[in-house]
Structure 1
Amino acid sequence: MKTLVDQLSSYADYHRDPRNIVTHYIGVPMIMLAVVVLLARAQWGVLFGVPLSLALAGAVAAALYYWRLDARYGLFMTGLLAAMLAVAAPLAGQTTAIWLGWGLGLFGVGWVIQFIGHYYEGRKPAFFDDVMGLIIGPLFVAAELGFALGLRKEVQAEVEQRSGPVRRREMASA
């Protein structure tokens, strides 16, 4: 199995333009929440007040994978997934129009934002070459946000050693 740095570096190869990374801060969480909302509708019961759903099953599987890669990122991503489940459950209980409106709306707008970012990048999204990019994308966004806040510098250094630094935009001369 690939390590945390292997996964982040593979994904980072497709994300070196800062404008693309910024679009991912917006688009990836929208897509992630959309998937949770859409999967939350398929429920088969409640356990300790938690709806048992495809969304929960997917969130648990993703969280376990993130924990396998790194405990600190696993903890953060588990909290994020729990928050998304808490938002998704009431939406899943709404009318079909409201549930689909939120789920498909977030999904569509999130992907438009992603493709705008990849236009700036000049490269297709990572998942076109490796479907694991769909699960690594949210982790990459969390890691990049942490790097911007000065966290996990050792991970950032390893990723940049493999993929190169984020490109800096050149200022136009006057």
Structure 2
Amino acid sequence: MKTLQQQLGNYGLYHRSRRNVITHFFGIPLIIFAVLCLLARIQLPFAEYVISGADIFVLASVIYYLTLSMSLGLIMAAILILMTIAAVPVASLSLNSWLIMSIGTFVFGWVLQFIGHYYEGKKPAFVDDLIGLIIGPLFVLVEALFLLGLYQELEQQISDIAGPTKP
């Protein structure tokens, strides 16, 4: 398995334009929220509990993030749990409203992604490596943390692999 630095550095190769990164700040959370809205409607009985498809998705994602970085994995866990809580009311809507809101949000998020990649002049990372689909949310998190002046060593390690961010 690749390290955190390798995963983010490889993803970063496709995301050096500041405009692309900005579109990802909005597009990726919208896509994740839409997926959680769709999966939250799937209800699975488990012993005395009912778990949702969103719960399984979040658990699997968080386990992966924790293997890459304990601190970033915990931050991602908090964010994904909050997004799942926000997705539950959407999943409770009527079938048509749920589908329109979830799929509309998903499509809009991807439109933003492709606009960003138009500015970048490169295809999305997942085209070459499907792991980019799960690394994208983590990349957005670390880019936000970099803007706050945090994880500077990780920022340098990503720049060493991917090169500097361009305006």
Superposition TM-score, scaled by structure 1 size? 0.92
Identity %, equivalent residues: 46
Equivalences for 1:95-114 in 2 at 5 Å?
95-114=94-113
List runs of 5+ in structure 1 lacking aligned partners.
Answer: 169-174
Alpha-carbon contact 1:51-1:89 (below 8 Å) kept: no
- Structure having the higher Rg: 1
Equivalences for 1:92-171 in 2 at 5 Å?
92-168=91-167
Alpha-carbon contact 1:126-1:133 (below 8 Å) kept: yes
- Identify which range, 6-15 or 98-107, moves more after superposition: 98-107
SS in structure 1 at match of 2:51: strand
CA RMSD of aligned residues (A): 1.4
Where does residue 32 of structure 1 map in the other structure? 32
Where does residue 13 of structure 1 map in the other structure? 13
Find runs of 4+ consecutive structure 1 residues off by over 4 angstroms. none
Report the Cα distance in structure 1 between the residues aligned to 2:67 and 2:159, rounded to whole angstroms. 22
Report the Cα distance in structure 1 between the residues aligned to 2:82 and 2:50, rounded to whole angstroms. 14
Report the Cα distance in structure 2 between the residues aligned to 1:130 and 1:100, rounded to whole angstroms. 29
**Does residue 41 of structure 1 match 2:30?**
no
CA offsets per residue over residues 82-121 of structure 1, 9 Å max, x none? 0111011121111011111121011000000000000000
Deviation at 1:45, TM superposition (A): 3.7
Equivalences for 1:79-90 in 2 at 5 Å?
79-90=78-89
SS in structure 2 at match of 1:65: helix
CA offsets per residue over residues 50-78 of structure 1, 9 Å max, x none? 85111110110000100110011101100
Report the Cα distance in structure 1 between the residues aligned to 2:161 and 2:17, rounded to whole angstroms. 16
Report the Cα distance in structure 2 between the residues aligned to 1:100 and 1:138, rounded to whole angstroms. 23
Report the Cα distance in structure 2 between the residues aligned to 1:70 and 1:102, rounded to whole angstroms. 33
Where does residue 60 of structure 1 map in the other structure? 59
Alpha-carbon contact 1:34-1:103 (below 8 Å) kept: yes
Deviation at 1:167, TM superposition (A): 1.0
SS in structure 1 at match of 2:129: coil
Deviation at 1:44, TM superposition (A): 1.9
Report the Cα distance in structure 1 between the residues aligned to 2:46 and 2:148, rounded to whole angstroms. 38
CA offsets per residue over residues 103-152 of structure 1, 9 Å max, x none? 10110000000000000000000000000000000000000011111000
Residues 94/153 of structure 1: CA separation in 2 closer, same or farther (3 Å cut): same
